[in-house]
């Protein structure tokens, strides 16, 4: 996105109005329980496009978030909008609904262990989430190494994703089957591996989901 005027023009959520059900409180992690305390708009000259600035109050903990949102300027029956929220949750309460349950469950546990600075656990759970995702994509083999190589041969995993998948596998193996003098997992290594999953799942799940939504809007 090169300009804030592009917000909502390249995908997002259905409808021309902000859906607070997609917003999670950064303080108590309750989702969708907000009331609007203030609303302002900025219109683009010579266009129907506008940026909306909302201050929302959480109905549970009474915390506040600032939401910048905008609907697409392109005419369609249902429309689409997108938003950005400040502050955002530093903890994780859920994973995207279009992810497979097992993939999201392990990913969420890996994220939570990062916040608790449980580096070994985060690495092991990252490995589990990776393997669950690869098997969801049809991977087969006697072990995770063969599953990674098999999906790479099919073109499902690009070369750089294959390389990083092996990094997750190796570090996860080290923590799952530690040697007697095994060193603790390096904190930055654990953070990098879990961050890799974010990119991988964007390719495997988020982008295909956005494409399906785009095609659905075009049919409408």
Domain segments of the chain as ranges: 4-90, 101-215
Farthest CA pair distance, the chain: 70
Positive or negative CA dihedral for 98, 104, 107, 113?
A: positive
Q: Is pTM beyond 0.75 here?
A: no
Successive 10-residue mean pLDDT values, the chain, 220 residues:
88 87 88 95 93 97 97 73 90 83 94 90 94 94 94 92 91 80 88 92 90 75
Please write the tens of the pLDDT for every residue from 15-47.
Answer: 889 999 989 899 988 889 999 999 999 999 988
Of the candidates 148, 182, 185, 143, the residue with the CA atom closest to the CA atom of residue 164: 148
User: Apex CA 8: angle with CA 4 and CA 12, to 5°?
Assistant: 130
Helix and strand tally (H, E) in the chain?
6, 5
> 101-215, which class in CATH?
mainly alpha
Predicted pLDDT of residue 75: 59
Please write the tens of the pLDDT for every residue from 152-169.
Answer: 999 999 999 999 999 999
């Amino acid at each position: 996105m090169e300009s804030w005027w592009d917000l909502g023009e390249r995908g997002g959520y259905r409808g021309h109005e902000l859906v607070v059900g997609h917003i999670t409180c950064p303080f108590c992690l309750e989702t969708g329980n907000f009331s609007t305390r203030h609303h302002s708009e900025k219109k683009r000259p010579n266009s129907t496009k506008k940026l909306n600035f909302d201050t929302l109050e959480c109905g549970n903990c009474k915390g506040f978030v600032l939401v910048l949102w905008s609907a697409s300027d392109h005419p369609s029956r249902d429309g689409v909008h997108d938003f950005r929220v400040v502050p955002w949750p530093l903890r994780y309460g859920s994973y995207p609904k279009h992810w497979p349950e097992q993939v999201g469950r392990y990913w969420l546990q890996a994220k939570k262990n990062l916040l608790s600075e449980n580096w070994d656990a985060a690495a092991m759970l990252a490995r589990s989430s990776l393997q669950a995702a690869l098997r969801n994509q049809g991977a087969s083999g006697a072990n995770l190494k063969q599953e990674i190589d098999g999906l790479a041969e099919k073109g499902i995993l690009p070369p750089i994703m294959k390389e990083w998948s092996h990094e997750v596998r190796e570090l996860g193996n080290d923590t799952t089957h530690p040697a007697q003098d095994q060193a603790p997992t390096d904190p930055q290594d654990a953070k990098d591996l879990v961050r890799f999953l974010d990119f991988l799942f964007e390719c495997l799940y988020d982008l295909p989901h956005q494409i399906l939504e785009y095609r659905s809007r075009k049919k409408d």
